[in-house]
Amino acid sequence: MSLLRDEDRRQIRKEFESLTEPVKLIVFTQEHECQYCAETRQIAEEVATLSDRIELEVYDLLADEEKAAAYGIDKLPALIVMRGGDEPKDYGIRFFGIPSGYEFGTLIEDIRMVSSGDSGLSEATRRQVAELQTPVHFQVFVTPTCPYCPRAVLLAHQLAMESELIRGDMVEAIEFPHLSMKYQVQGVPRTVINETVHLEGAMPEAMVMARLQEAVQAAA
C-alpha cells in the first residue's frame, strides 16, 4: 500500500521538475527491533520514483556496519540526503526517525536544496559559517505533528550544507525517548548544539547563529 496519495505524487513530481543536479537518498534500516524502519524505507522509495534525478541506496545497520560508521549512523531509522551522481558529497544532512507529517515537507525541501547546490542562507550567515574552525553538531528534536519544527530542521540542514564542519540531525523525539530524556525535551522543536547550548522553538537565522557562536566558544 502506497504511503503517498496520488495528489501528493503529482504535486511533488511537478516540484521535482526543477531539480538540476542528482540527489542521493541513503536509508539505514534493519529487519527487527525498529518500529518505523519499513515505513521510512518506503517513503524514500516512493519519493525516489518521482524524479530520475534521485537515486536511492539502502543499507542494514548490522550487515553494513562499516558504511554506518562512515556516515556516523548510530540509531535507526536513518535517512541521509546528499549530492549524487559522479561527484557525490555528504553534507551532513540527517533524519533520525521517520520523516512523516510536517517533516515530510522538510525532506522534499532538502532534496530541492541539495539539487540546487545552494543553501539559501543569508550572506551574513554564510560569512559567519565560513569562519568556523571547530565542528558543530545540531540535534533538532521534533514530532510529526509539530508545525513549527520544519523551520528549525531546515535551518540546521541549510547550515550543514554550507559547512563541512556542521552536521544537522533531525531527531524524532517519540522514537528516541532516551535522547529526549537526556536532553530534557519537554516541547518541540528543541535544538541542541554541541551538547551545551539548547534552543526552544523555531528561532530566526540570526538568533540561531548567535547561539551557535556560544556553543563554539564553550568548546574552545
What pLDDT is attached to residue 79? 98
Query: How much is the average pLDDT of 137-158?
Result: 98
pLDDT band at 219 (very low <50, low <70, confident <90, very high): confident
What pLDDT is attached to residue 205? 97
Query: How much is the average pLDDT of 26-43?
Result: 95
What pLDDT is attached to residue 99? 98
CA dist., res. 93 & res. 38, Å (int): 20
Note whether 6-116 and 123-219 share their fold: yes
Superfamily of domain 6-116: Glutaredoxin (3.40.30.10)
Query: How much is the average pLDDT of 124-152?
Result: 97
Q: What is the pTM of this model?
A: 0.98
Tens-place pLDDT, residues 85-96:
999 999 999 999
DSSP letter for each residue of 90-153: ---EEEES---THHHHHHHHHHHHHHHT-----HHHHHHHHT--S-EEEEEEE-TT-TTHHHHH
Determine the topology of domain 123-219 in CATH. Answer: Glutaredoxin (3.40.30)
Query: How much is the average pLDDT of 105-128?
Result: 98
Query: How much is the average pLDDT of 128-155?
Result: 97
Domain ranges of the chain: 6-116, 123-219
What pLDDT is attached to residue 202? 96
What pLDDT is attached to residue 126? 98
- Grid cell at residue 119: 543553501
